[in-house]
């Protein structure tokens, strides 16, 4: 197939593209290479993709309406995976317009490209952050998610609503994937694994929010990619049993689905830190801080729907995934890591 991957120089985007290329797909990857974090890391990820003859990179922002029109018209993609977005909960408090431009305007451009150019299936990244103020655990796709606690979360909830509209109006098959705290080699430097490992290796203190009294459903990158690719191959159809009197948020009479992708095993933040300490071989100096605005106390994915749909559920143990991440971190950053 010919697949468009937006955000191809990103963490999940690079790994997903590698997996598609390995199975024989042709991939066009786009990314705006913005400076939200180290651009060199993004360029080094692209170096992992560029040797593949079936890969082509286009530097472009999905918010570029005319550029996206031309891209879709030229390539006639079979399927699209939208991973481009302005990430980060805390940064959304500082620069809300970046989230509107990328996550809302950009996503409309992706939807319009799919609509007008016969795309068979759009898979797009949502986020566990949509669960917001919910406290019922584990988080289920059947739960209402109407109380986001950050603009980032609100933008991801909006993506789900926008996608459903296009599934309803234009019969465009769309599937949203709610990722739960993804980690692994080539991960973002602003995420806790890189922040913690880098600080430990350098002997700097780490910031531990909410006194460490948080839980996250940490999910290893290989499991995320496996889920993305399996879902890409499962084009949704309308649910004939959909009840409009009691509508499920996760499915529809239209060709639309929402799935969680998480490890189904929430981990205490202090346990997570201890796991990194063991892999690094150094103990962290901890700077205990209060809860940050926009953060949630816990995430925990119900993955029954994903398992039933594609016969897969994430299962990489935290110690295994962190071991692989720390080995990559030391190899990539070298002397800079100490």
Residue 37: closest CA among 29, 28, 47, 45:
45
pLDDT of 24: 98
pTM of the model: 0.95
pLDDT of 295: 75
Alpha helices per DSSP H over 212-283:
221-232, 269-280
Catalytic residue from among 37, 99, 131, 152: 152
Strand ranges (E), the chain: 2-6, 26-31, 55-59, 79-82, 121-127, 174-179, 182-183, 205-208, 215-216, 219-220, 256-261, 267-268, 285-288
pLDDT in tens, 107-153: 999 999 999 999 999 999 999 999 998 999 999 999 999 999 999 99
pLDDT of 87: 87
State the Cα–Cα distance between residues 328 and 188, nearest whole angstrom: 13
State the Cα–Cα distance between residues 260 and 128, nearest whole angstrom: 8
pLDDT of 338: 46
Answer for the pair 155, 205: CB distance below 8 angstroms, yes or no: no
pLDDT of 335: 53
Residue 150 is given by DSSP the state S
Q: Check if 152 is active-site.
A: yes
Answer for the pair 322, 276: CB distance below 8 angstroms, yes or no: yes
Backbone angles phi, psi at 98, to 5 degrees: -60, -30
pLDDT of 22: 98
pLDDT of 250: 96
Three-state DSSP state, 173: coil
Answer for the pair 300, 162: CB distance below 8 angstroms, yes or no: no
Contacts (Cβ under 8 Å, ≥6 apart) of 306? 227, 231, 259, 260, 261, 312, 313
pLDDT of 336: 58
pLDDT in tens, 234-269: 999 999 999 999 999 999 999 999 999 999 989 999
Q: What is the pLDDT along the chain (338 residues), one digit of tens a residue?
A: 999 999 999 999 999 999 999 999 999 999 999 999 999 999 999 999 999 999 999 999 999 999 999 999 999 999 999 999 998 877 888 899 999 999 999 999 999 999 999 999 999 999 999 999 899 999 999 999 999 999 999 999 999 999 999 999 999 999 999 999 999 999 999 999 999 999 999 999 998 988 788 999 999 999 999 999 999 999 999 999 999 999 999 999 999 999 999 999 899 999 999 999 999 999 998 988 888 887 778 888 999 999 999 999 999 999 999 999 999 999 999 855 54
Residue 283: closest CA among 213, 205, 183:
205
Residue 304: closest CA among 249, 262, 336:
262
Residue 210, CA distances (Å) to 178, 287, 319 in order: 24, 11, 23
CA 199 to the chain's CA centroid: 24
């Amino acid at each position: 197939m010919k697949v468009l991957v937006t955000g191809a120089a990103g963490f999940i985007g690079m790994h997903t593209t590698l997996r598609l290329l390995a199975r024989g797909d042709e991939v066009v990857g786009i990314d705006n290479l913005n400076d939200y974090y180290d651009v060199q890391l993004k360029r080094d990820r692209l170096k992992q993709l560029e040797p593949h003859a079936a890969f082509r990179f286009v530097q472009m922002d999905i918010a570029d309406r005319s550029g996206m029109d031309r891209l879709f018209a030229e390539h006639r993609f079979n399927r699209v995976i939208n991973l481009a977005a302005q990430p980060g909960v805390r940064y959304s408090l500082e620069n809300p317009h970046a989230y509107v431009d990328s996550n809302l305007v950009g996503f409309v451009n992706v939807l319009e490209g799919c609509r007008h150019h016969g795309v068979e299936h759009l898979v797009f990244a949502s986020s566990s952050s949509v669960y917001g103020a919910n406290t019922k655990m584990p988080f289920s796709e059947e739960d209402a998610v109407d109380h986001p606690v950050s603009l980032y979360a609100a933008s991801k909830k909006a993506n789900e609503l926008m996608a459903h509209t296009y599934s309803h109006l234009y019969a465009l098959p769309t599937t949203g994937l709610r990722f739960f705290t993804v980690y692994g080699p080539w991960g973002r430097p602003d995420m806790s694994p890189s922040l913690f490992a880098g600080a430990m290796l350098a002997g700097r203190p780490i910031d531990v929010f909410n006194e460490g009294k948080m839980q996250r459903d940490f999910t290893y990158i290989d499991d995320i990619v496996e889920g993305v690719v399996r879902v890409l191959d499962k084009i949704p159809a309308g649910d004939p049993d959909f009840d409009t009197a009691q509508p499920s948020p996760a499915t529809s009479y239209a060709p639309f689905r929402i799935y969680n992708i998480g490890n189904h095993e929430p981990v205490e933040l202090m346990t997570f830190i201890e796991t990194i300490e063991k892999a690094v071989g150094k103990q962290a100096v901890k700077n205990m801080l209060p809860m940050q605005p926009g953060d949630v106390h816990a995430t925990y994915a119900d993955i029954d729907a994903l398992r039933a749909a594609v016969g897969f559920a994430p299962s990489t143990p935290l110690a295994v995934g962190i071991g692989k991440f720390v080995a990559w971190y030391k190899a990539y950053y070298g002397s800079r890591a100490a």
